[in-house]
Structure 1
Amino acid sequence: MDRKYTDITKTIGRTPVVKLSRLAPAGVDIFAKIEAFNPMGSVKDRFALAAVEDAERRGLLKPGQTVVEATSGNTGISLAMVCAQRGYPFVAVMAENFSIERRKLMRFLGAKVVLTPAAERGSGMLAKAQELAKTHGWFLTRQFDNEANAEMHARTTAQEILADFDGERLDFWITGYGTGGTLKGVARILRQARPETKIVVAEPDNSPLLGSGIRSKRHSDGAEAGAHPAFRPHLMQGWTPDFISRLVEDSVDLGLIDEIVGVAGNDALAAARDLAGKEGILAGITAGATLAAARALAERAPKGSRILCMLPDTGERYLSTPLFADVPVEMTAEELSISRSTPLARFDGTHSSPKVPTASPEVLPVSPEAAAFVAEVTSDPENAVVMFALEWCEFCWSVRKMFAHHQIPFRSVDLDSVAYQKDDWGGKIRVALSATTHQRTIPQIFIAGRHIGGCTDLFDAWKAGTVQRELADAGITCGGDGASDPYSFLPGWLHKRG
């Protein structure tokens, strides 16, 4: 099989179906279609590509035009990927309560992220996206009512399922609904090609929009008109906004849904953890919720039943959510016991690490050229703030973050970088620097020729106000939040131990 692709979007789809070996009751088979195998880790890659390609084909999206969408995160990440590959600016509109890592992923892919108040929920972020599109002439992908969404799933996801179960039983297919693209696209094809397969839709038990039997209110143009009366906040990000999308309503009107199952948030979390701990499948809360619905169905399904459930995304999207809330960062008591079972590399002060002889910089000869370099750099009027550093040292990066936050211009002499490696030039500079400051630590910071010290010396001097005065005397104005604790720029593990 040819595994070379002309661009990243060609890798979307063809996700695997995996039989769960430890999570199904005896006599019933549960299979999972793992959409995390898409390049951006979720089922939304399919819609993102479909929306852009459809708009290009119909002349709705012009070269260089900005794309905008309201998203809980996954659609935004996928659109950021497709837009990056195609050269379109992308703006995501997302309620502030969705996971932080989703914002970072979108921004890392070049997108802009506009947050909306959590109290305004999904309808608030959708209204904001519509307003931005209308005001600026941006292209709104309309994931909740874009027929290209469902068509993509009919053309790809459904066909993959049919091929994977060709000649085999498939008694139940279970999915959440969210935008309704997966539901409408796949269910329509399964209803035609596999009428014996029951379509089961899962939703939060405390927010039963479909289960209530109440349709969403709409304006005369079909747009959603405020929150659905049955909506309540829930854990399943992306599963149900506070309205029923047109694509979901289409599925209801077409009679594509055989059963609706409510899933408790705690059951979703437990199932996602079981997927990871018992099957080795890293999936998100919505995947756990879908599996929880499949397991509940399996308990009452006839023996020999075969169930396929959709796992929409990867668990890495949920690091800042309750899914990972109980996962410790520091060693547990059991892990400490394992650490203490052998003598090396321990934190309890009783370790016995092998001694490696090292040369002290003070006893090495100082190169006159290196000493002249240090003197020249630290007295350079064009670069009042100088840091002698290592490229990837955590302390050096903490200083860089502090300088960036306060908009302090500086020169970094990275002694271990390629530029200073020839003839051990960086090492010679470090010896000369140590002879000048009588300190061996890195980084070493200077302001207008005055030696401030290392990372924590800088932080302490900042807290005392000394650094600010030195910078002012050098004609440098600080920006950012002057009240910020400089120690907050350290990585968590350094901050704790510092």
Structure 2
Amino acid sequence: MARYDSILDTIGRTPLVRLDTFAPPGVNLYAKVEAFNPMGSVKDRMALAIIEQAERSGELRPGQTVIEATSGNTGIGLAMVCARKGYPLVVTMAESFSVERRKLLRYLGARVVLTPASEKGTGMLAKAIELAETHGYFLCRQFENEANAEVHSRTTAREILADFRGEVLDCWVSGFGTGGTLKGVARALKQANPATRVVVAEPDNARLLGSGLAQPRQAGGVPASHPSFRPHLMQGWSPDFISRLTEEALAAGLVDELVPVAGSEALRLARELARREGIFVGTSSGATLAAALDVARRSPPGSNIVCMLPDTGERYLSTPLFDGIGEQMNDEELALSRSTPGYRFDAVPGGGGVRRPAPEREKAPLDAEAVGFVDETVAAEPVVLFALEWCEFCWSVRKLFARLGIDYRSVDLDSVAYQADDLGGRIRAVLAERTGARTIPQVFIGGEHVGGCSELFDAWRDGSLRGRLEDRGIAYDRDVEVDPDDLLPGWLHPRASIV
């Protein structure tokens, strides 16, 4: 272990892992696991290299906004670098890329401008150029920036060569997106040993390189959508154009073979990597492994093959990669739960048997201080939310109020302010007696009890909440359209995603 001055110093030096359960007998198949980079992808290397090159050249001024078009991983890497170095970041991204990527970018402080999926990669690139020219932003130009390729010659390739010191590397397998990894690594490997084969994988239904058709370009060299492009599953792979860096790699004779990969095979192998090797990666990694296995099956015993695994599987939770991965217990898991008597949803807590109604308890007298607090607060405040600080349903109510622009008071019963002498618990007992509901949150509007999260959302749907707000003169944004289901916790409602 080591100590570092900055998170940026931890980029690179990722492990090369042997895939014993996949390799044919006698063939040595290794994976370069780029998820070990701090932001979980190979793009961390390029993000730092582009920013530092622009700083050295003076293209990027202190405090200037950085902008780039990205499917997500480059943007996430840039967000980390810009956060550490103090640059604002804007990312343009087609709306078809996974929701997790948008959230990660915004979490890291970036602004995300979505472009229509129908405009594909060329659309998000054109939007980035347009915004950069209009606002004076620094455009990274990852698809043509030589710093993108240079960092892979200087780091990624050298790491691989160091791991094979004294041995022969027979083949290196990669996909392509910006072309930076392809050009940079292939160049350095070929310089070290011209016999090392470079194999490039691409989607079988979108064979831009395999088509043999030249990349069309508009005025100024801006790429147009390639005629062979079709939508495919491998996010980050093969945009709808061939980048300059990829064209340069091809023109330099760095690519020995193209292997088409089916999306279904990419999904299968990404899942198999997790279950057989314990390596958690995304769809594009599964696709690269598919191409590497194709090569391995045709290679003689003793061959050394390395394939790139570009990112982590956490970027794909909302994509087809996780189809069929349930949130609730399946039949097998339910049966396992029921095989012992305790800690079951259908059993009495702490013991066996099926749940039975709790026996009636003698009601304790309500606390006078808590009664006074509830009465005074409900009377004084137009909108009151009795909540728990980190309850997801309480946050769902807060999101609705925020969307509608409603001012409210939140009484967080479990917060430090209400822990002294269990004031929060005493207030909760008063609420349970007054409302007949033992759950939190509970909402009051104009002194009247509305209910919990479900009742509030139902009142918004049927229009009665609007009427209640207007009757009591409580301001809210009448033009907002919101589906409350979208505000519910993701584990409860499949559509819940705030992007």
If the TM-score is normalised by the length of the shorter chain, which range does it land in?
Answer: over 0.9
CA offsets 1:188-233 (integer angstroms, 9 cap, x no match) = 1111112232111111122222222222123464332x12222222
Which residue of the partner structure matches residue 64 of structure 1? 63
Which residue of the partner structure matches residue 121 of structure 2? 122
Which residue of the partner structure matches residue 289 of structure 1? 287
Shift of 1:279: 0.6
Which residue of the partner structure matches residue 497 of structure 2? none
Relative distance call for 1:10 and 1:449 in structure 2 (3 A) is same
The answer to whether the 8 A contact 1:207-1:230 is kept is: yes
Which residue of the partner structure matches residue 241 of structure 1? 239
Relative distance call for 1:436 and 1:330 in structure 2 (3 A) is closer
Unaligned residue ranges in structure 1 (runs of 5+): none
- Percent identity at matched positions? 63
**Cα separation, 1, equivalents of 2:249 and 2:463:** 64
Question: Which shows bigger deviation, 328-337 or 33-42?
Answer: 328-337
Aligned AA (1:38):
N
The answer to whether the 8 A contact 2:327-2:491 is kept is: no
Which residue of the partner structure matches residue 312 of structure 2? 314
Which residue of the partner structure matches residue 257 of structure 1? 255
Residue 232 of structure 1 aligns to a residue in which SS?
A: coil
The answer to whether the 8 A contact 2:169-2:305 is kept is: yes
**Cα separation, 1, equivalents of 2:479 and 2:488:** 16
Which residue of the partner structure matches residue 329 of structure 1? 327
**Cα separation, 2, equivalents of 1:315 and 1:405:** 32
Which residue of the partner structure matches residue 10 of structure 1? 9
Relative distance call for 1:249 and 1:495 in structure 2 (3 A) is closer
The answer to whether the 8 A contact 1:101-1:318 is kept is: yes
Spell out the pairing of 1:457-472 with structure 2 (5 A cutoff): 457-472=455-470
Residue 221 of structure 2 aligns to a residue in which SS?
A: coil
Which residue of the partner structure matches residue 370 of structure 1? 370
Aligned to 1:354, which of 320, 345, 350?
Answer: 350
CA offsets 1:169-201 (integer angstroms, 9 cap, x no match) = 211111111111111111111111122321111
Residue 92 of structure 1 aligns to a residue in which SS?
A: strand
Aligned AA (1:28):
V
Question: Which shows bigger deviation, 429-438 or 178-187?
Answer: 429-438
**Cα separation, 2, equivalents of 1:171 and 1:236:** 26
**Cα separation, 1, equivalents of 2:484 and 2:233:** 35
**Cα separation, 2, equivalents of 1:365 and 1:28:** 77
The answer to whether the 8 A contact 1:389-1:444 is kept is: yes
Aligned AA (2:370):
A
Which residue of the partner structure matches residue 77 of structure 2? 78
Shift of 1:343: 2.8
Spell out the pairing of 1:41-190 with structure 2 (5 A cutoff): 41-190=40-189
Shift of 1:386: 0.5
Shift of 1:66: 1.1
Which residue of the partner structure matches residue 398 of structure 1? 396
Matched pairs, number: 490
Shift of 1:14: 0.7
The answer to whether the 8 A contact 1:362-1:435 is kept is: no
Shift of 1:451: 2.1
Residue 72 of structure 1 aligns to a residue in which SS?
A: coil
Which residue of the partner structure matches residue 216 of structure 1? 215
Residue 156 of structure 1 aligns to a residue in which SS?
A: helix
The answer to whether the 8 A contact 1:272-1:284 is kept is: yes
Residue 308 of structure 1 aligns to a residue in which SS?
A: strand
Aligned to 2:419, which of 421, 424, 449?
Answer: 421
Relative distance call for 1:15 and 1:493 in structure 2 (3 A) is closer
Which residue of the partner structure matches residue 441 of structure 1? 439
Shift of 1:299: 0.6
Relative distance call for 1:216 and 1:461 in structure 2 (3 A) is closer
Unaligned residue ranges in structure 2 (runs of 5+): 495-499
Spell out the pairing of 1:371-390 with structure 2 (5 A cutoff): 371-380=371-380, 383-390=381-388
Residue 477 of structure 1 aligns to a residue in which SS?
A: coil
Residue 444 of structure 2 aligns to a residue in which SS?
A: strand
**Cα separation, 1, equivalents of 2:238 and 2:349:** 54
Relative distance call for 1:360 and 1:59 in structure 2 (3 A) is farther
Residue 212 of structure 1 aligns to a residue in which SS?
A: coil
Relative distance call for 1:493 and 1:128 in structure 2 (3 A) is closer
Residue 387 of structure 1 aligns to a residue in which SS?
A: strand
Aligned AA (1:39):
P
Relative distance call for 1:456 and 1:314 in structure 2 (3 A) is same
Relative distance call for 1:460 and 1:253 in structure 2 (3 A) is closer
Relative distance call for 1:280 and 1:444 in structure 2 (3 A) is same
Aligned AA (2:377):
V
Question: Which shows bigger deviation, 456-465 or 415-424?
Answer: 456-465
The answer to whether the 8 A contact 1:407-1:480 is kept is: no
**Cα separation, 2, equivalents of 1:251 and 1:185:** 9
The answer to whether the 8 A contact 2:343-2:350 is kept is: no
Shift of 1:361: 9.7
Aligned to 2:454, which of 453, 456, 459?
Answer: 456
TM-score, normalised by the number of residues in structure 2: 0.92
Relative distance call for 1:359 and 1:417 in structure 2 (3 A) is farther
The answer to whether the 8 A contact 2:128-2:139 is kept is: yes
Shift of 1:53: 0.7
TM-score, normalised by the number of residues in structure 1: 0.93
Relative distance call for 1:362 and 1:458 in structure 2 (3 A) is farther
**Cα separation, 1, equivalents of 2:186 and 2:406:** 57
Asked if 1:39 is matched to 2:38, the reply is yes
Relative distance call for 1:390 and 1:250 in structure 2 (3 A) is same
Relative distance call for 1:493 and 1:60 in structure 2 (3 A) is closer
Relative distance call for 1:394 and 1:359 in structure 2 (3 A) is farther
CA offsets 1:83-122 (integer angstroms, 9 cap, x no match) = 1221111111111111121111111111111111222211
Shift of 1:385: 0.5
Aligned AA (2:274):
A
CA offsets 1:306-326 (integer angstroms, 9 cap, x no match) = 100000011111112221123
The answer to whether the 8 A contact 2:92-2:112 is kept is: yes
Shift of 1:435: 4.3
**Cα separation, 2, equivalents of 1:88 and 1:220:** 30
**Cα separation, 2, equivalents of 1:360 and 1:410:** 35
